Amino acid sequence: MSIQYCSKCVYPGVSATPLTFDDSGVCSGCRVNEMKSSIDWDRRWKMLQKITDEYRSDTNYDIVIPVSGGKDSYYQTHVAIHELGLKPLLVTYHGNNYLPEGEYNLFRMREVFDCDHIIVRPGVDTLIKMNRLGFKLQGDMNWHAHCGIFTVPIQVAVRYKVPLMMWGEHGFLDLGGMYSLNDFVEFTAKFRLEHALRGYDWHDFTDEGLEKLGRPELKEGLSAKDLMWGQYPTDDEIDAVGVRGIYLGNFVNWDANQHSRLVVEKYGWRPAAQPFERTYRMFSNLDDMHENGIHDYLKFIKFGYGRGTDHSCKDIRSGKMTRAEGIEMVRKYDHVKPRRDLERWLKYVGIPEDEFDAVCDTFRDPRVWRMENGKWVKDNIWGEASEYGNVHKDACGPGCRK
Amino acid sequence: MLKKRLIPVLLLQNGLLVRSELFKIHQIIGNPVHEVERFNQWNVDELVYLDITRGDKYDLRREDHKIKGLATPEAILDAVSRNCFMPLTWGGRIRSVEDMRRCINHGADKISINTSAVRTPELITAGAKAFGSQAIVVSIDVRAEGGSAREVFIDGGRESTGLDPVEWAIEAEKRGAGEILLQVIGRDGTGSGYDTGLIRDMSSAVRIPLVACSGVAMFEDYADGIKAGASAVAAANIWHFKELTDRAGKRAMARAGIDVRL
């Protein structure tokens, strides 16, 4: 079966983000993006003002803003304070692997915005265990980060009784066009569990949970008390405070390139100092040094594409790049096995590279990958098949997924 | 008097749930099993699953997802019904009493038929005889241009029938249907509110319950459907967009003076 690619951008049909194609072969991500030009953004802004006005408090924070310290975080906080006049409480899940530039940006938020900021930092041993478990169980060492990012802010909102959260852009809406901008989609527990966490929850990572999953060989000795930061509040707790999470992307015409310029000029926000191995962009995912490299490489393993595709899709849609230029970025970056990142991460978690490769192979999507003469082969967007290294599946050692 | 029901309609396409607009645009929303698990937590009154798959490919997409390997409609229905502790209506691709029996054996409580009800109206009677009227829902998709010319469409809104929706509802009732599910193609996924005129006309023409669907943008819209004569109000997309949508929807209905199970 050959993979369908969007005829406008470079997105593949087998992807991490749910994506569909219309009769002209254009993906839902492009279609939703096209809608932006026909939206009355002034009216949307007034809708946002109305919503936030309803939640203004005399005695408490007006809003919780989940932030990583990235360009979007700065933009959200800028809008909340300087354009909406709100008193926010910033909340961060810190997964222990910030780039120095990312951490600089994060810690400076309370200085440049004069904001209260809660940063939750899980124990480092626990995080290392969660890296290993996420990788082996789910093919994603950063599962813990998705869990923390989508859990800690609502825990804080419930605990501090702040009913409104304001997220930035809805990633799945933006990249894949999962929802329409007319849906005014809000944050939900189901989205967190099913899409951000792919059906797994914190309890699957405890010894008891792994036993239930039939994967006792992966046990790391984690218990519920190690994973407090991943435990989502109950419906009744959320309902008692009335917490809802809106997305700023539904109310302002979101353009990441423009926001980056704004936050660099206004607040001295810093992009990455060193280029990444798997993308040309310098201003995304600075909150985890493994995100643009090794974590994204796993996406290539699974689905056959990576940040070269993600970032060029965004730039094609915003008119910064042609589709042909995008394909060149895909050719250049999507397949790269990141040495710097890989070596750093393997050392961090204590896994040898051959075991890493063997576990990787258990996650290859059969719709994308085939084995030919001991090599992994896939068809590419430029119409040719290419080889991408040796098959390691059979070298799969004890404890890894068969 | 019976309480008014609030019902989520889930649209299944090639194994995944989709958001729908005008019966034409479909975006993937997620996994059919997760959704039903969530609705159990919410204590939802009742659930309608409509399989709108074209072709025969059922694929849950992700190799790294906890739920995988459901590759047929029966496997999906099994997984859904195992997790579903509320009355479950299953529709789509049902052409015979045998198809109905298979769905009921796999856990459905009611069967919804649309295209096949128009093409072979005897199926309504045969189904009602085999499983009881209460198990047979006739789903009616209406194209209503400018509010005047109304026509029943079948095959996912692609084929016109020349049937008048109200007359067709009356005939479906005569043939043994236990319930009507009304959808309006031009309102699907647009958030323009229910077609209250059509609900009024249809509900006053039949004695069986009418479930109104299509057009909900806000929880406040539900009350309009009930006030126009529907016994139950349904919606699809809004259930995916916001949190705690069951209790929020019921509260909005209660605020409008409607008797609901809170």
DSSP letter for each residue of chain B: -PPPEEEEEEEEETTEEEEEETTTEEEEEE-HHHHHHHHHHHT-S-EEEEE---SS------TTSSS----SHHHHHHHHHHT--S-EEEESS--SHHHHHHHHHTT-SEEEESHHHHH-THHHHHHHHHH-GGGEEEEEEEEEETTTEEEEEETTTTEE----HHHHHHHHHHTT-SEEEEEEGGGTTT-----HHHHHHHHHH-SS-EEE-S---STTHHHHHHHTT-SEEEESTHHHHSSSHHHHHHHHHHHTT-----
Query: Residue B255: which residues within 8 A CB-CB, separation 6 or more?
Result: none
Check whether A94 has a pLDDT greater than 70.
yes
Residue B64 has its nearest CB partner, among A140, A177, A180, at A140
Q: Do A20 and B28 touch (CB under 8 A)?
A: yes
Predicted complex ipTM: 0.89
Chain B touched by A172 (CB under 8 Å): no
Check whether A230 has a pLDDT greater than 50.
yes
Q: Do B243 and A186 touch (CB under 8 A)?
A: yes
| Cβ contacts of B27 on chain A, cutoff 8 Å | 18, 20, 28, 177-180
User: What's the pLDDT score for residue B1?
Assistant: 65
Q: Do A199 and B31 touch (CB under 8 A)?
A: yes
User: What's the pLDDT score for residue B43?
Assistant: 84
**pLDDT tier at B61, thresholds 50, 70, 90:** low
Query: Residue B144: which residues within 8 A CB-CB, separation 6 or more?
Result: B150, B151, B184, B186, B195, B198
Chain A touched by B27 (CB under 8 Å): yes
Chain B touched by A302 (CB under 8 Å): yes
User: What's the pLDDT score for residue A396?
Assistant: 47
**pLDDT tier at A397, thresholds 50, 70, 90:** very low
Which residues 133-152 on chain B approach chain A with CB closer than 8 angstroms? Answer: none
Chain A touched by B203 (CB under 8 Å): no
Check whether A181 has a pLDDT greater than 80.
yes
Check whether A359 has a pLDDT greater than 70.
yes
| CA dist., res. A359 & res. B220, Å (int) | 51
> How close, in Å, is residue B257 to chain A by CA atoms?
22
Reading phi first (left if > 0) and then psi (alpha if -120 to 50, else beta), residue A350 is in left
Which residues 35-64 on chain B approach chain A with CB closer than 8 angstroms? Answer: 35, 38, 41-42, 61-64
User: What's the pLDDT score for residue B137?
Assistant: 98
> How close, in Å, is residue B242 to chain A by CA atoms?
5
Query: Residue A145: which residues within 8 A CB-CB, separation 6 or more?
Result: A93, A95, A287, A288, A291
> How close, in Å, is residue A18 to chain B by CA atoms?
6
Q: Do B18 and A20 touch (CB under 8 A)?
A: yes
Average pLDDT of chain B, as a whole number:
93
Chain A touched by B241 (CB under 8 Å): yes
Q: Do B241 and A245 touch (CB under 8 A)?
A: no
Check whether B160 has a pLDDT greater than 60.
yes
DSSP 3-state assignment of A377? strand
User: What's the pLDDT score for residue A402?
Assistant: 40
Identify from B64, B218, B251 which residue to disrupt to test chain A contact, counting A C-beta atoms within 10 A and taking the largest count.
B64
Chain B touched by A188 (CB under 8 Å): yes
**pLDDT tier at B148, thresholds 50, 70, 90:** low
Q: Do A188 and B16 touch (CB under 8 A)?
A: no
Chain B touched by A214 (CB under 8 Å): no
- Say which residue, A398 or A387, is predicted with more confidence: A387
Chain A touched by B31 (CB under 8 Å): yes
Residue A28 has its nearest CB partner, among B27, B41, B65, at B27
> How close, in Å, is residue A213 to chain B by CA atoms?
9
Check whether B172 has a pLDDT greater than 50.
yes
Check whether A231 has a pLDDT greater than 60.
yes
Share of chain A above pLDDT 90, in %: 84
Identify from B13, B33, B66 which residue to disrupt to test chain A contact, counting A C-beta atoms within 10 A and taking the largest count.
B66
Residue A193 has its nearest CB partner, among B34, B42, B241, at B34
Residue A138 has its nearest CB partner, among B42, B64, B237, at B64
Check whether B59 has a pLDDT greater than 80.
no
| Cβ contacts of B41 on chain A, cutoff 8 Å | 235
> How close, in Å, is residue B25 to chain A by CA atoms?
7
Residue A179 has its nearest CB partner, among B16, B27, B31, at B27
Mean pLDDT over residues A289-293, rounded? 82
Check whether B17 has a pLDDT greater than 80.
yes
Chain A touched by B25 (CB under 8 Å): yes
Query: Residue B117: which residues within 8 A CB-CB, separation 6 or more?
Result: B123, B124, B138, B139, B172, B177
Mean pLDDT over residues B244-252, rounded? 96
**HSE-CB for A268 with a 13 A CA cutoff:** 7
